[in-house]
Amino acid sequence: MATRHVALDVLRGIAILGTLATNIWIFTNPEGLVGYIQGTNHATGSWAMVEDILQQLAQGKFLGLLTIMFGIGLAIQLRSATRRGRPWPGRYYWRAALLFVDGTINYFLFTEFDVLMGYAVTGLIVAYLLTMRLRRQYIAIVVAIVTHVALLGLITWALLAAPVSSAPGAGLSPNPYADGSFVDLIAFRAENLLAFRAEVIVILPMSIALFLVGAALLRSGVLEPRGARLRRRLMVAGLGVALPLDLVVGLGGGDAGLVVGRYGLAPVVALGLLAWVADHYADGRTAGRCGRILAPVGRMALSCYVFQNALAGAICYGWGAGLAQRLDGTTLVPVTVGLYLSIAIVLVIVSHAWLRRFDRGPLEWLWHRSYDLIAARTEQQTATTRA
């Protein structure tokens, strides 16, 4: 069990730092997520290719890994409930509700591309799906994948059919990322709630599939010695096949290629990455140097995820240091890479220091404390009703 948890913590740490590697380019865009989507404010000269490669290497892979890890975590909670003789999903809806609240706060205060709200909804759905027989769970995986592929095909077809335009998208005027206050950005996110949450809705079938796949992989022993053959197959499919295809399609396929890579090939790459890391720890070895660096970030995954968004926003947006507005095509890449490394180092140092004194990260503690209070009050109300 200890070895398994080492692998899980390391994988969560990789996923958290990997999502930052994707999102940091959004923070350093002077028009935030809007500019990132519209493709404005790119690097110039020889830096342009470096930017494309770095973005594609991170694009979607760590989002997929984080999603699979949430599914594995949900399956571990199910095992724990079963072992203790507790009903499932039981009061899991309170856990989902708290996660949704965390995501809502993160969305409005720090980042409009939050994933926690979507994970809360997905987790609630999958928690009930995990009560079904395995055959029905596998059918649910197939249905979710087919639905996702169909949506992905429609989106890709629409992008390929759209007329090619070389003109950049219209800039934000006024630009709340550069010129607005902290409150102005909150209002901007509130006004564009549906547009900014569209991705979460569209990828819901993919998220359900990856949650269920994560649970299935845990059952199949992907983190244990008995899962060696499964891990080899996942590594071949993810790192040997999907990763090269992702790079080719993402770098040369335009907007359609980016979509296919992020939502089609990247989740398969994530499975290969999971298998590669799990294979390193499956024989019971200790965390090692890299593992000791990454595991504390994984143990404080929720805190680190929110903190990295808050820190990047404070450095890049106009309400803070306003770094993004001072970048141009020649400075964008080196400054973005430097900023990513700086925040990653801060996360590692802070998580190590915090866990030397406390068992959980600050948000993890608050989350569990809130859940315990809700559970105690629910039990008290139930006992009173019975009396």
Q: Above 80 in pLDDT, residue 379?
A: no
Q: What percent of the chain has pLDDT over 70?
A: 94
Reply yes or no on whether the pLDDT at 380 is more than 80: no
Q: Say which range, 119-123, 167-171, 264-268, has the weakest mean pLDDT.
A: 167-171
The yes-or-no verdict on residue 387 having pLDDT over 60 is no
Confidence of residue 384 (pLDDT cuts 50, 70, 90): low
* pLDDT band (50, 70, 90) for residue 206: very high
Rounded Cα distance between 268 and 387, Å, is 53
- pLDDT tens digits, one per residue of 19-35: 999 999 999 999 999 99
Helix (H) or strand (E) holding 266: helix 266-281
Neighbours of 283 (CB within 10 A): 10
Query: Beta strands of 55-167 (E only): which ranges?
Result: none
Q: What share of the chain is helix, strand, coil (3-state, %, to 5)?
A: 80, 0, 20
What is the average per-residue pLDDT within 116-122? 95
Please report, for residues 197, 238, 246, 259, the alpha-carbon distance to residue 268 in angstroms, rounded to integers and kept in the order given: 24, 5, 10, 14
Q: What is the dihedral of CA 349, 301, 262, 230, to 10 degrees?
A: 110
Distance of CA 341 to the CA centre of its chain: 18
Digit-coded pLDDT (tens) for 278-288: 999 988 777 78
Q: What is the pLDDT of residues 315-355, one digit of tens each?
A: 999 999 999 999 999 999 999 999 999 999 999 999 999 99
DSSP 170: P
Q: In the predicted model, is pLDDT for residue 275 greater than 60?
A: yes
Cα distances (angstroms) measured from residue 131 to each of 89, 100, 176, 213, 219: 8, 22, 45, 15, 14
Output the pTM of the full model.
Answer: 0.93
In this predicted structure, what is the pLDDT of residue 1? 41
- Residue 227 tokens, joined: 């899962």
Prior bond of 176 cis (ω within 30°): no
Does the pLDDT of residue 163 top 90, yes or no? no
Count CB atoms within 10 A of the CB of residue 42.
16
Burial (CB count within 10 angstroms: exposed 0-12, middle 13-18, buried 19+), residue 189: buried
pLDDT tens digit string along 61-96?
999 999 999 999 999 999 989 998 888 998 888 889
Residue type, 312: A
pLDDT for the residue numbered 155:
95
Name the nearest CA neighbour of 306 among 66, 121, 27, 115: 115
> Per-residue pLDDT for 269 more than 70?
yes
User: What average pLDDT does the chain have?
Assistant: 91
What pLDDT, on the 0 to 100 scale, is given for residue 2?
Answer: 39
Nearest Cα to Cα of residue 1 among 281, 229, 234, 368: 281
pLDDT for residue 169: 57
User: Is 80 exceeded by the pLDDT of residue 196?
Assistant: yes
Most confident residue range from 139-153, 166-180, 362-376: 139-153
